[in-house]
Amino acid sequence: MYRFHDKKIDTDLFLQLQDLTTVLSREPDLHFDFSYGSYLDVTDNKVTASTFWDQNDSNLKVAGYKTDIYLRTLGNLHYTAIQPLRNFMDDYFNESTLPRFTSQLVTFFENFRLEELIKKDRPGTVTLFKKRNEYLKFYFTNQLKTNVTKGYAIDELFCLIFLLVQADQPDPQFPQADEKQLHQLEQLKPAIYSLFEVKATEDILRLVEQIVARLINTYQDSMNDYFIFPIAHINIYTRNNLFDELTRTDPLANDDLEEVDKEKSDYIDETFSTWHRENKNEDRKQTFLQFDLEQGTKTDLLGGGTRETEEGDQAMASIQGASGESEQKDYSKLDTLEKKESKQAGHQSESPFGEENKHAVAIVKHAEVPTEQDKHDYDEVVLDIDSMRRKLAKTIENTLEHKQTEPRDGLAMGRLSKNLLPLVFEDNPRIFYKKDHQSKEIDAVFTLLVDCSASMHNKMDQTKRGIVLFHEVLSQLNIPHSIVGFWEDATHTKDNYQPNYFHTIHSFTDSLYQKNGAKIMQLEPQEDNRDGFSIRMMTKELEARRESNKFLLIFSDGEPAAMDYEENGIVDTHQAVLEARKKGIDVIGMFLANNEIAENEDATMKNIYGTQRAMVPNVEELPEQFAPLLKKLILKTL
């Protein structure tokens, strides 16, 4: 039931879950991802939700994902004790003959304990946990039947333990279960019921050890994985709490201590306060100055208040000021937003084209002088699409002409209108008009970004026909535009080097005055496609343009595919599209299919481009499909 590698990601939901992770953990560097199981990885700053929840029922799917995040960020991050859990694994778990069963029992019991804490602290989560547990009971009921049929004894027992703990009645019956496992369950009930009284991780571990000790000589280990251990890389953590590990501050680089005579040293015990017009700060005791130290010599001088978890006078990394609640606006909820923006700003400086593209390198390849064959092929395409070109250009020119000659009525001055009724019925009549002569230029700029990945090999010829129509119409209307093919060179990629080529067929400057549209015929299918990086590159170029209306059209035949990009490529491309749109650029996805558009292909394009996408079932129809779209976009600028 796991559909991980070929799953289609709902980008809006993914971003919601990322925001939820940031808000609940209050750690802007902690990012979200889908995985085979749900776990918290402080080393890689990651929280995952299990693909187990990829259900047709969208409400159940959302509930599953969110409760996974609740358990990791509100639960494990703050309430799971690392050292006892680590010691348990070192001293007992690794020597057990039932490691898989033991691990899953610890995970299930700890999840149960954390769930009760979370529901008590945040009652709004109760409904989601109810949906989660209702489905899990249904799932384990079916798994129980399967394990009975296959003779997986300890898997059957695990299902019985789960259903007993989650039962709605005090003594549930399991008529389908094997008598041996039912008898074993009866023997374990006193220990299992003590789960409802545990207070800490240590209690969970003692309970699991007590249960496993009764099974270790009777059963073989589990065949199935129902729960993934919730904490990754636990052996390398040194703090007792995951939140402390996540927010740890390393000690000073040097570990020397300076002997200082306190009597000869000046120490000013004085409070510095800030002032705000809405906070008189009467007690004068709220504010102090503190600075972050990474290197230096420790002394035994008073530091005005040390942090117990740090060495020496480690200080808070901020200058704090006191102010009361404003009467104008409530800014009490801006903390997480500020952290998130800080994170985004930090990532922007490190990887301006997205974290997934930090090793991508842009290589510009300029089109060559067209050959005679290029010119011949281009002339044939122009002749083929000429009727569409003339019709489309004429429609736009007529609209532009109408706009130039259309008078403006209801003015305070100008030519006197024939309609003088406003003089009688209105207090301030406006009875003049002007017949302005507006500019014939269309204030717009276009970029056509063409996917040149290998999968385009049977679509490129027809794609060029659409591009020729694009170029011919915009040239006739004197609209600047660029045409760029993109691909990633898969044969030369390395872990820290991913060359991405941008084949510039036409730039904004030469698309109008140079009559060499035949260069379009040089577009050819190459290798991989890293769409998010390419869209950001084109967005940067369009940002520098002065035109009021900017359009970016991406021609592609499917989802992104490049080195270390398959799993996160859709989300990264979606984010690149959102970034461009926030900058005032209209981004339209043009999907090219082979006679039929599959449901998953439409879903992928929707996840990336939303409603601003055009699905072309047959590339041979591309010019016919492209013409009305181009008309709509140009008329939008008039």
Q: Which of 65, 61, 60, 62 is nearest to 49 (CA)?
A: 65
Question: Do residues 395 and 473 touch, judged by C-beta distance below 8 A?
Answer: no
Burial group, residue 34, by CB count within 10 angstroms (0-12, 13-18, 19+) = buried
Average pLDDT value for residue range 132-152:
92
User: 212-226: per-residue pLDDT in tens?
Assistant: 989 988 999 999 889
Average pLDDT value for residue range 595-621:
81
Question: Do residues 68 and 38 touch, judged by C-beta distance below 8 A?
Answer: yes
Q: Outline where 307-371 has alpha helix (H).
A: 334-350
Of the pLDDT bands very low, low, confident and very high (cuts 50, 70, 90), residue 55 is confident
Amino acid identity of residue 636, one-letter, is K
Is residue 402's pLDDT more than 90? no
Of the pLDDT bands very low, low, confident and very high (cuts 50, 70, 90), residue 311 is very low
Dihedral, CA of residue 621, residue 624, residue 630 and residue 631, to nearest 10: -160
Q: How crowded is residue 186: how many other Cβ atoms within 10 Å of its Cβ?
A: 9
Average pLDDT value for residue range 536-559:
89
Summary mean pLDDT of the chain? 78
| pLDDT the model gives residue 228 | 87
Pick from 38-47, 403-412, 512-521: least confident: 403-412
Q: How crowded is residue 617: how many other Cβ atoms within 10 Å of its Cβ?
A: 14
Coil, strand, or helix at residue 186?
A: helix
**56's tokens:** 């047709």
Distance (Å, whole) CA 281 – CA 288? 13
Pick from 108-112, 318-322, 414-418, 545-549: least confident: 318-322
Q: Which of 421, 469, 417, 474 is nearest to 444 (CA)?
A: 474
Is residue 111's pLDDT more than 90? yes
**594/548: higher pLDDT:** 548
Is residue 16's pLDDT more than 80? yes
Average pLDDT value for residue range 330-337:
38
Is residue 322's pLDDT more than 50? no
* pTM exceeds 0.85, yes or no: no
SS (H, E, C) 590-604: EEECECCCCHHHHHH
